[in-house]
Structure 1
Amino acid sequence: MKTLFRSLFAAALVTTAATAVSAQAVPAAPADTARIAFNPALINAVNTQGFEQFRETVRPLIAQMAGKKVVALGEGTHGTAEFYKLRFWLTRILMEEHCFTQVALETTYGGARRVDEALHQRTAPALKPLMQKHLLSIWQNQETAEMLTWMQAYNRRHRGHQVSLAGIDAGFGADNAQLVQQGLSQRNPTLRPHIEQLTKSAAFQDAMWMKLNEKSSKFDQPAWLSNGLAGYAAADALLKALPTARLPRAQREGLELALHNSRMVFDYPYQVKFNRRESSRDSLFAAMTQQLVRKPGSKIVLWSHNAHLSRQSTDPADNNGGGAGSFLERMFPGQYFVLGTSTAFGTFAATPQVFVSPLSPMAAYPLPAPKAGSWENSLAQVSSPAFFFNTHQLGTQDVQRPQRLVGQTPASVSQYADFQLSKAYDALLFVRTTTAATPL
Structure 2
Amino acid sequence: MSDSSSHHGAVFAVREAARPLTGASADYDYLLDRIGDARFVLLGEASHGTHEFYSERARITRRLIGEKGFTAVAVEADWPDAYRVNRYVRGAGDDDSALAAVGDFHRFPTWMWRNAAVLEFIEWLYDHNGGVVKAGFYGLDLYSLHASIRAVVDYLDKIDPEAAGRARRRYACFDHSGEDTQAYGYAASLGLDRSCENEVIAQLVDLRRRAVEYARRDGLVAEDEYFQAEQNARLAKNAEEYYRSMFRSRVSSWNLRDLHMVETLAELVGHLDRTTGRPSKVVVWAHNSHLGDARATEMGERGEWNVGQLVRERCGDDAVNIGFTTYTGTVTAASDWDGPTERKRVRPALPGSYEALFHEAGSPRFLIDLRDGGDATEALREPRLERAIGVIYRPDTERRSHYFHARLAEQFDAVIHIDQTRAVEPLDRDSGWEEQGEVPETYPAGV
- Normalised by the length of structure 1, the TM-score is 0.80
Cross-structure match for 1:25: none
Letter in 2 for 1:69: R
Alpha-carbon distance in 2 for matches of 1:198, 1:432: 52
Cross-structure match for 2:314: 331
Matching of residue 220 in structure 1 with residue 187 in structure 2 = yes
Cross-structure match for 1:17: none
Q: CA deviation at 1:369?
A: 1.2
Other structure's SS at 1:381 match: helix
CA contact (8 A) 1:257 1:292 kept: no
Alpha-carbon distance in 2 for matches of 1:405, 1:141: 20
CA contact (8 A) 1:111 1:176 kept: no
Cross-structure match for 1:388: 367
Q: CA deviation at 1:223?
A: 6.2
CA contact (8 A) 2:320 2:413 kept: yes
Q: Point out the structure with the larger helix share.
A: 2
Identity of aligned residues (%): 20
Cross-structure match for 1:109: 79
Q: CA deviation at 1:225?
A: 6.0
Residues 89-123 of structure 1: per-residue CA shift (max 9 Å, x gap)? 11100001111011111111111001222223388
Matching of residue 310 in structure 1 with residue 289 in structure 2 = no
Matching of residue 289 in structure 1 with residue 265 in structure 2 = yes
Alpha-carbon distance in 2 for matches of 1:95, 1:204: 45
Matching of residue 67 in structure 1 with residue 37 in structure 2 = yes
Matching of residue 125 in structure 1 with residue 96 in structure 2 = yes
Matching of residue 142 in structure 1 with residue 116 in structure 2 = yes
* Range 203-212 or range 112-121, more displaced: 203-212
Residues 329-365 of structure 1: per-residue CA shift (max 9 Å, x gap)? 122222111000000010100123426xxxx642211
Alpha-carbon distance in 2 for matches of 1:416, 1:244: 51
Structure 2 gap ranges (5+): 428-447
CA contact (8 A) 1:205 1:228 kept: no
Letter in 2 for 1:72: L
Q: CA deviation at 1:238?
A: 2.1
Cross-structure match for 1:12: none
Q: CA RMSD in A?
A: 3.2
Other structure's SS at 2:26 match: helix
Judging changes above 3 Å, is the alpha-carbon distance between structure 1 residues 205 and 64 closer, same or farther for their aligned structure 2 residues?
Answer: farther
Q: How does 1:60-99 map to 2 (within 5 A)?
A: 60-99=30-69
Cross-structure match for 2:28: 58
Q: 2:146 aligns with which of 165, 168, 174?
A: 174
Cross-structure match for 1:47: 22
Other structure's SS at 1:278 match: helix
Cross-structure match for 2:206: 237
Q: 2:343 aligns with which of 364, 373, 394?
A: 364
Cross-structure match for 2:238: 264
Matching of residue 188 in structure 1 with residue 188 in structure 2 = no
Residues 10-55 of structure 1: per-residue CA shift (max 9 Å, x gap)? xxxxxxxxxxxxxxxxxxxx9999463132331100013xxxx1x3
Structure 1 gap ranges (5+): 1-29, 213-217
Q: CA deviation at 1:144?
A: 0.8
Q: CA deviation at 1:395?
A: 4.0
Matching of residue 347 in structure 1 with residue 334 in structure 2 = no
Cross-structure match for 1:439: 426
Alpha-carbon distance in 2 for matches of 1:116, 1:203: 30
Q: How does 1:367-378 map to 2 (within 5 A)?
A: 367-378=346-357
Judging changes above 3 Å, is the alpha-carbon distance between structure 1 residues 268 and 223 closer, same or farther for their aligned structure 2 residues?
Answer: farther
Q: How many residues align?
A: 394
Judging changes above 3 Å, is the alpha-carbon distance between structure 1 residues 396 and 65 closer, same or farther for their aligned structure 2 residues?
Answer: closer
Alpha-carbon distance in 1 for matches of 2:387, 2:267: 31
CA contact (8 A) 2:186 2:244 kept: no
Alpha-carbon distance in 2 for matches of 1:346, 1:273: 35
Judging changes above 3 Å, is the alpha-carbon distance between structure 1 residues 227 and 124 closer, same or farther for their aligned structure 2 residues?
Answer: closer
Judging changes above 3 Å, is the alpha-carbon distance between structure 1 residues 389 and 272 closer, same or farther for their aligned structure 2 residues?
Answer: closer
Judging changes above 3 Å, is the alpha-carbon distance between structure 1 residues 120 and 405 closer, same or farther for their aligned structure 2 residues?
Answer: same
